């Protein structure tokens, strides 16, 4: 029976997921909670190869893309996420199944039922206990991602070059997911500065699981999420 906590972060380009994930991981580790940070695509050795294929290929057929994300996830769940949860860790994952629904479903307009089935197969039914949706206007996210790429001397990657209406469709997709899964998905206003966003997420996290606000040593018994 898994005893860990599975938390995912979702949102569009430049929403601030990686920044928030780093803040939360640092805070949890300071309190002594065993924490694993990971991401999709790319949370395993195979996943890193798939990530390169997915993010660097000029043009993949949408169905090919969908199947590669599913393969990445199947490997990630079985080799990384599930073992960490079985070991009682807090798993913080940058993107998971909701990204497939938003990007491949709403964005690329592939069949949503098929995506749900593939997600079910790839995850063996493992759903996050809590998901933070970083809600940011599309234009703000694209500007942030563009500025970051320029500062690092990189060109915008393939997905960031896609038309604006694609990004609006996937934003709508995340909104739909949040409305349909209100008990799992917590919306965060991602226009806030990083520190405020991190505080808002921490309050939500520790309201749900007060034991995580204490040091790991002071927890008497492991709580079930």
Phi, psi of 143 (to 5 degrees): -65, -45
Q: Does the N-terminal peptide bond of residue 41 adopt cis geometry, omega within 30 degrees of 0? A: yes
Calculate the CA 41 to chain-centre distance.
10
- In the complex, what is the shortest distance from the CB of residue 206 to ligand Z5A, in angstroms, rounded to a whole number? 20
- Which CB, 8 or 82, lies closer to ligand Z5A? 8
Q: Specify whether the backbone of 194 is left (phi greater than 0), alpha (psi in -120 to 50) or beta.
A: alpha
Told to check if 18 binds ligand Z5A by CB under 6 A, we report yes
Rule CB under 6 A: choose which of 5, 6, 8, 17 binds ligand Z5A: 17
Binding piece for ligand Z5A, criterion CB under 6 A, among 8-16, 24-32, 109-117, 201-209: 8-16
Name residues whose C-beta falls within 8 Å of residue 93's C-beta, 6 or more positions apart in sequence. Answer: 6, 7, 8, 9, 37, 38, 39, 40, 43, 81, 128
Stretch that binds ligand Z5A, among 25-33, 85-93, 153-161, 199-207 (CB under 6 A): 153-161
Question: Which among 206, 196, 144, 166 is positioned nearest to 15, based on CA atoms?
Answer: 144
Q: Is 105 in the site for ligand Z5A (CB under 6 A)?
A: no
Q: Which position's Cβ is nearest ligand Z5A?
A: 16
Strands (E), 51-151: 90-94, 130-135
Is the CB of 151 or the CB of 220 nearer to ligand Z5A?
151
- Selected from 46, 137, 157, 213, the binder of ligand Z5A by CB under 6 A is 157
Nearer to ligand Z5A, 1 or 58 (CB): 58
Binding site for ligand Z5A (CB under 6 A): 11, 13-19, 40-41, 55, 69, 95, 99-100, 103-104, 144-145, 148, 157, 159-160, 192-194, 197
């Amino acid at each position: 029976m898994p005893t860990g906590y599975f938390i995912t972060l979702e949102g569009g380009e430049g929403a601030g997921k990686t920044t928030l994930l780093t803040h939360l991981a640092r805070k949890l580790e300071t309190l002594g909670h065993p924490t694993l940070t990971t991401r999709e695509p790319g949370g395993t050795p195979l996943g890193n190869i798939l990530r390169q294929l997915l993010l660097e290929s000029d043009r993949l057929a949408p169905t090919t893309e969908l199947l590669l994300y599913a393969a990445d996830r199947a490997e990630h769940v079985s080799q990384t996420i599930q073992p960490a949860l079985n070991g009682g860790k807090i798993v913080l994952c940058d993107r998971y199944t909701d990204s497939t629904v938003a990007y491949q479903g709403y964005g690329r307009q592939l069949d949503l039922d098929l995506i749900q089935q593939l997600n079910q197969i790839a995850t063996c039914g493992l759903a996050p206990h809590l998901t933070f949706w970083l809600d940011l206007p599309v234009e703000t996210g694209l500007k942030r991602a563009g500025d970051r790429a320029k500062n690092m001397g990189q060109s915008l990657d393939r997905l960031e070059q896609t038309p604006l209406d694609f990004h609006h469709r996937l934003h709508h997709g995340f909104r739909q997911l949040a409305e349909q899964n209100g008990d799992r998905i917590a919306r965060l206003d991602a226009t806030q500065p990083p520190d405020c966003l991190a505080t808002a997420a921490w309050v939500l996290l520790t309201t749900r699981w007060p034991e995580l606000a204490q040091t790991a040593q002071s927890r008497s018994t492991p709580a079930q999420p």
